[in-house]
Amino acid sequence: MKQAVRVAEAQEMVLGCVQPVGVEKVALLEALHRVTAEEVTAQRHIPLDDNSAMDGYAVRHTDVAGATRDRPAVLEVLEILPAGKRPRQRIAPGTAVKIMTGAPLPEGADTVVQVEHTDGSDTRVQIYRAPHLGSNLRRRGEDIRQGECVLAAQTFLRPAELGVLASVGKAQVLVYQRPRVAILATGDEIIDPGEPDTQGKIINSNSYTLAGQVAEAGGSALLLGVAPDDRAIMSQRIASGLRADVLITSGGVSVGSFDYVRECLDAFGCQVRFWTVAVRPGSPATFGMVGHVPVFSLPGNPVASMVTFELFVRPALRKMMGRRDLFRPRLDAVLQDEVEKRRGVRTLLRGVLRQDEGQPTVTTTGPQGSGILRSMSLANCLIDLPEDSEHLQPGTRVQVMPL
Ligand code: AMP
Ligand code: MG
């Protein structure tokens, strides 16, 4: 049996093996939560012209300076200018254009008086209050200047960035491809939800948690169903999984008599990088490369499956889709329970983080067995206890990863 590797080492090995899959041009609506593979430069100023920030009157400031309700300035209205139309008139002394928000500022005007400070007339307007010179204008290029880089390459696209892309006129953007991730469950005892529930069977939950985790990490999941503990059938399914960009197998990597996954992968020439990790839950997690395809063989226990995905697969998928932030942010919290763990083994407990007042606190979700999936669904964080800790008292400061 090989020596167990530490989590951090295992993570480094994985990240050293994976690369972005490729890039593709997608329409803006497809680009949400993807990562840009090009630098985006503005081809035009935004706004393109000086325009009005208010519904009101475009004026010369000198004509309205000193206007009051008792002694209003009176100006001839030359035209009514909706947004999207070019002004036809030039503002001469004693005149104004009734202007809508977003309409280009007519020549000669230097200020917009908002309609609330006027009588609203379409012909001869009374101005009751003068704003400062240059008020209520949006200046040409004040948001984005032509030639400016608006998004660097490797920017994660949130709704705000989609808006920036749209406003510089980009209908399509070059992004990293989503890795296609094949998921193969294994085990003679595993049946899919909805199948007749006979004695001794266990319902497949791992395919679904893993598919959800893949989607959350930005990949697209491909379910390959459940392979029985049979070398020939398992090999067939693994072969089809290896056509994806990443293969995840679930179960069959322990030391049981019917744990054939490693043996099958060997037959495909899998270059195994690690096959036991000093972690709990999830120590039998295995990682290797079959050609260019990273293969993660995760333990069958439902919590171990989720936790090892978090530790090893999620950062890899994020790297593959161009992300730079590969790991979850962490924060310190004060542990509320007493915890025993094994020295030398990194331990991830499922926790409830509370941040209401003062220092964040964290409690475990109760029983922490690696088959107790409820411990994951009750949790909003993982409590990450380092290898060298052993006995933790309530009040200990620990690191947590909000999920
Ligand atoms: P294994 O790693 O194959 O020895 O499986 C360890 C435990 O996890 C066994 O109790 C399995 O029944 C359970 N298990 C394996 N695969 C799954 C799955 N896809 N969904 C839920 N439980 C599973
Ligand atoms: Mg099994």
Q: Which is the closest atom of ligand 1 to the Cα of 299?
A: 2
**Same domain? 185 vs 253:** yes
Q: How far apart are CA 202 and CA 388, in angstroms?
A: 36
Percent of the chain with pLDDT over 90: 94
Domain co-membership, 172 together with 182: no
Query: What CATH number should be reported for the domain holding residue 154?
Result: 3.90.105.10
| Residue 178 CB coordination number (10 Å) | 21
Contact 164/69 with Cβ under 8 angstroms? Answer: no
Question: Is 0.85 surpassed by the pTM of this model?
Answer: yes
User: Same domain for 345 and 373?
Assistant: yes
Q: Low-confidence residues of the chain, pLDDT below 70?
A: 1-2
Domain that holds residue 230: 7-22+178-320
**CATH assignment of the domain containing 390:** 2.40.340.10
Number of domains in the chain: 4
28 belongs to a structural domain: no
How far apart are the two ends of the chain, measured CA to CA in Å? 33
Task: Judge whether 117 lies within some domain.
Answer: yes
Same domain membership, residue 73 and residue 124:
yes
pLDDT digits (tens, 9 = 90+) for 83-113: 999 999 999 999 999 999 999 999 999 999 9
For residue 2, the model assigns a pLDDT of: 64
> Residue 196: what pLDDT?
87
Distance, CA 185 to ligand 1 centroid (Å)? Answer: 9
- Measure 124 CA to ligand 2 centroid, in angstroms: 85
Ligand number, closest to the Cα atom of 251: 1
- Helix ranges restricted to H, 285-348: 302-308, 314-320
Residues 6+ apart with CB under 8 A from 256: none
Cα(122)–Cα(391) distance, rounded to whole angstroms? 80
| Residues 354 and 221 occupy one common structural domain | no
Does residue 150 contact residue 40 with C-beta atoms inside 8 Å?
yes
pLDDT digits (tens, 9 = 90+) for 197-239: 788 899 999 999 999 999 999 999 999 999 999 999 999 999 9
Q: Ligand 2 mean position to 297 CA, how many Å?
A: 12
Which of the listed residues 183, 199, 206, 309 should we mutate to test ligand 1's pocket, taking the one with most ligand atoms within 8 A of CB? 206
How far apart are the CA of 115 and the centre of ligand 2, in A? Answer: 74
* Cα Rg of the chain (Å, integer): 31
Do residues 189 and 312 both lie within one domain?
yes
